[in-house]
A and B are shown apart, each in its own frame.
Chain A
Amino acid sequence: QQQVKQSPQSLIVQKGGISIINCAYENTAFDYFPWYQQFPGKGPALLIAIRPDVSEKKEGRFTISFNKSAKQFSLHIMDSQPGDSATYFCAARANYGGSQGNLIFGKGTKLSVKP
């Protein structure tokens, strides 16, 4: 119940296309859903995050779509660029009546954007 399942494991997209990465969860106590971007040899960096009181959040070319009833959330990268080539991790954190749980990470998606 603590897992976050991420798909696909790898993704190849043409420059200018839309990249879509999906995550699913079971724990209804999760109330914070961030996406991290990681370049090779570097630490992950927070890209965008959402809480379940909204169904969509957009920041530039990056959008999170959130479906609370289906327990799914996804990252959409519009107009994908070669510089977006990286590994993307979804994550979730629970709130147990004010006590925060730890971040639970998906296994990652390696995105390659072809020029």
Chain B
Amino acid sequence: DGGITQSPKYLFRKEGQNVTLSCEQNLNHDAMYWYRQDPGQGLRLIYYSQIVNDFQKGDIAEGYSVSREKKESFPLTVTSAQKNPTAFYLCASSILDRSEAFFGQGTRLTVV
């Protein structure tokens, strides 16, 4: 089945630790995105990538890092510099010249 797979579904992190969220897509999409969702805040763009080995900061990139070594994969690292990391993280992908974005099922990160 084609789609976007995020793992894990739930993730717990101790304060001061880095953690990496996985996002894999088999849709052959060029563009991939990471969003953060907080209650009442909508979806805010963290990072995006339109091509392998290239990525751009979104609106709230501080405390996060990404890589795009393969077209299918766009992992997000939440670093210890992110002051309030507890949130629902969503990965999405799209064809560059088409507007529709497809979302994964999300990862809920909780700092304990």
Q: How large is the interface on B (under 10, 10 to 19, 20 to 34, 35 or more residues)?
A: 20 to 34
Q: Is A45 close to B, CB under 8 A?
A: yes
Q: Is the CB of B43 within 8 A of A46?
A: no
Q: Is the CB of A93 within 8 A of B58?
A: no
Going nearest first, the 7 A-B pairs with the smallest beta carbon separation are: A43-B103, A107-B42, A105-B43, A32-B99, A105-B42, A43-B105, A44-B103
The interface of chain A, by Cβ under 8 A from chain B, is: 6, 9, 32, 34, 36, 41-46, 49, 89, 93, 100, 102-103, 105-108
Q: What are the residues of chain B within 8 A of A89 when measuring CB–CB?
A: 42-43
Q: How far is the CA of A42 from the CA of B4 in the complex (A)?
A: 12
Q: Is B84 close to A, CB under 8 A?
A: no
| Chain A residue nearest to B91 in the complex (CB) | A43
Q: What are the residues of chain B within 8 A of A100 when measuring CB–CB?
A: 96-97, 99
Q: Is the CB of B43 within 8 A of A93?
A: no
Q: How far is the CA of A80 from the CA of B54 in the complex (A)?
A: 44
| Chain A residue nearest to B105 in the complex (CB) | A43
Please give 6 more A-B residue pairs, beta carbons under 8 A apart, in addition to A89-B43, A102-B45.
A6-B42, A43-B90, A89-B42, A93-B99, A100-B96, A102-B58
| Chain A residue nearest to B58 in the complex (CB) | A102
Q: Is the CB of A46 within 8 A of B100?
A: yes
Q: What are the residues of chain A within 8 A of B45 when measuring CB–CB?
A: 102-103
| Chain A residue nearest to B88 in the complex (CB) | A41
- Interface hits, B57-112 → A, CB 8 Å: 58, 90, 92, 96-97, 99-106, 108
Q: How far is the CA of A93 from the CA of B101 in the complex (A)?
A: 11
Q: What are the residues of chain A within 8 A of B43 when measuring CB–CB?
A: 44, 89, 105
Q: How far is the CA of A89 from the CA of B35 in the complex (A)?
A: 14
Q: What are the residues of chain B within 8 A of A34 when measuring CB–CB?
A: 99-101
Q: How far is the CB of A22 from chain B (nearest CB, A)?
A: 15
Q: What are the residues of chain B within 8 A of A6 when measuring CB–CB?
A: 42
